[in-house]
Amino acid sequence: MKNWLFVIFLVALVATISCRFGLPIASPTPDISAIVSATLTAVGASAPAPVAATALPISSEPGSIIGSLNYPSSRIPPLFVVAIDTNNPSSYYFVNTVLDQSTFQLNNVPAGTYHVIAYALGGEGSSIGGGYTPAVACGLSVDCTDHTLLDVVVVAGQVTAGIDLKDWYAGTGVFPTPPPMPNP
């Protein structure tokens, strides 16, 4: 049994080190139970019955998203800035800004992929928002017609910067309706 635990420990250690330092991990093998069984046989242990593997996160440390804000007016109103999980739209992280605040920072965001949008506070029910889209990189001119929300990837323990929420020109219904603001 000790040999079996040692093999599992080594595999987990190699995977953790590889992911932490950005090293490539070999492609998954088609029959891991056969490899484990052969390894255990080689070290003189008997393989226990196969057990369903459970994927565990390598790090639960959250990341952050930072960027700039604007609004198609002479002032930037208070905004509800939201990072919506692309795999689970009911899961989101937010921060409220104050009048004329031109930057934002979302902290404690779990690793994952998000769409980030700013909505004017008090504009609940409206899907018009300022999004992070290809139109922002294009310069927001009339020739910039791609208002698709870009994926923002948050990596555990890292800051994802340059997420500029400046595309307020997508039109009604292009961005999702803002999620409900939690009560303080």
Q: What is the 3-state secondary structure (H, E, C) of 94-111?
A: EEECCCCCCEEEEEEECC
Specify the higher pLDDT residue, 44 or 17: 44
CA 56 to chain CA centroid, nearest Å: 17
Q: Model confidence over 29-77: pLDDT tens digits?
A: 445 555 545 554 544 544 444 444 444 445 578 999 999 999 999 999 9
| pLDDT confidence tier of residue 95, bands split at 50, 70 and 90 | very high
Give the phi and the psi of residue 81 in degrees, each rounded to 5. Answer: -95, 125
pTM of the model: 0.65
Indicate if 82 and 154 belong to the same structural domain. Answer: yes
Q: Indicate if 26 and 93 belong to the same structural domain.
A: no
Residues 87 and 121 in one domain: yes
pLDDT of residue 13: 45
Q: How confident is the model at residue 86 (pLDDT cuts 50, 70, 90)?
A: very high
Q: Is the dihedral of CA 62, 67, 70, 76 positive or negative?
A: positive
Domain with 92, as residue range(s), is 63-160
